Amino acid sequence: MSVRLIDSLATTEPLADVFSDSSVLQAMLDFEVALARAEAELKIIPQSAARAIAGAARAEDYDAAALSRQTLRAGTPGIPLVKALRKKVRQQDAEAADFVHWGATSQDIADTALVLLLKKAAVILDADLARLQNALLALVAKHKKTVMVGRTLLQSGPPITFGLKAAGWLGSIRRGRARLKQSISEALVLQFGGASGTLAALGDGGIEVGESVARKLELTFPDGPWHTHRDRLAAVVCACGILAGSLGKMARDISLLMQSELAEVGEPGGPDRGGSSTMPQKRNPIASAITLAAASRVPGLTSAFLSQMRQEHERAVGGWQAEWPTVSAVIQAAGVAIASMAETAEGLTVDAARMKENLDASKGMVFAEKAALLLGSKIGRESAHELLKRATDPKQLRGRTLSQALVEMPELRDHLSREALTNLEDPEDYLGSAQEFTSRLSGSATRKTHRRRGK
């Protein structure tokens, strides 16, 4: 299906298909078919009834708009769907219609359908996360030694490498991917409890039926119904929220690095990509904008879901009814952010020369910490700090580099050698553990155990 215009910045076409009317309907019908077949195999209902139910369970044969209107009246999609399914089955086999939805309740349909949709969405999300992860690994490898200005509180700081920055994105997203996979794996459980969560309508055969239904739908059969226990879904929503935040951090960095004043990276372009309706020169960070929009929406949606968890007794009023649109929106928001950042990472241009220019433009002030440490061993840390504050005053620099200004400060001539001043503004001489951190974050390092001194 095509994405609705109002959702065009909030989802991707594959995820819009997952949560389309047809897909939602088919997920509910799939539950009914699996239930009928399981009950027929256990001789609870006739085999002929199961065949008739399966034959009537095609989403394209139902009027989604009419079912939507009826759902608003019924308070659950299960009631109008079961009624419509019985009508279809009755046209083939009048007796079989009585066995539709045998022993189940309307929330069993809705919850299991949501889980089936989540299962389909998980494949799409993980494929795009794999793309993003691989693209970031390539960026890290290519730019492991590409030096750039480090930035703290939006101000220039000591140098880092772009490889380290990309490795930071990678580490966070890799953790988010693992967290999401784990939470979805735990959430892929059948909902089947009947009216009060006891399956009393099936006598002592309820668990056997449930286990069979779960096998047919390739879901796990839980230890008990979860009609008012929403922790598994909450974990998925929270995992999406954390992942969206990580993607938003990456998007924020990229959009800032794309500012005209920095121009250190660029999102992939192409026809109608990143342009402006009025300014021909513009190359806007569109993927970052879409990702940041998603990252802005998801926390509120996550909070909404968590506030719905206080559900009463065995079946709730209003709690789970709020979840379909919430979960759908969270999954699609995370999905469009993942896809946007995957496309960005795969085509990101990195201007190493511009990064070096911006580093040089600091006139060496980003190495003030390095100079203070060199001086600290000679004149004391506090004195060195105060001298460097004076040396980096724009009035003191007057267009000179930091090392040039330090040479002309009489109180420092006996404490900093010519060699130290010559190497002061060499960025590769002040990268510390950047390479080791980069290797660890990208998973390419063999970690060593560092012992504390004196032990």
User: How many CA within 13 A on the CB side of residue 179?
Assistant: 18
Residue 329: CB partners within 8 Å, gap ≥ 6?
A: 10, 297, 301
What radius of gyration do the chain's Cα atoms show?
Answer: 30
DSSP state of 181: H
Which residues on adjacent β-strands are paired with residue 150? 157
Q: Return the ∠ at Cα 89 (arms to 85 and 94), rounded to 5°.
A: 135
341: number of Cβ within 10 Å: 30
Q: Which amino acid is at 366?
A: V
Reduced 3-state DSSP string for 324-371: HHHHHHHHHHHHHHHHHHHHHHHHCEECHHHHHHHHHHCCCHHHHHHH
What's the start-to-end Cα distance of the chain, in Å? 65
How many angstroms separate the CA atoms of 1 and 8, rounded? Answer: 12
Separation between Cα atoms, residue 323 and residue 76, nearest integer Å: 12
| Residues designated as active site | 276, 315
Under 8 Å between Cβ of 210 and 280? no
Cβ atoms of residues 326 and 237 within 8 Å: yes
Place of tokens 């699609």: 332
Amino acid (1-letter code) at residue 54: A
Percentages (nearest 5) of helix, strand, coil residues in the chain = 65, 5, 30
In the block, tokens 């890799």 appear at: 174
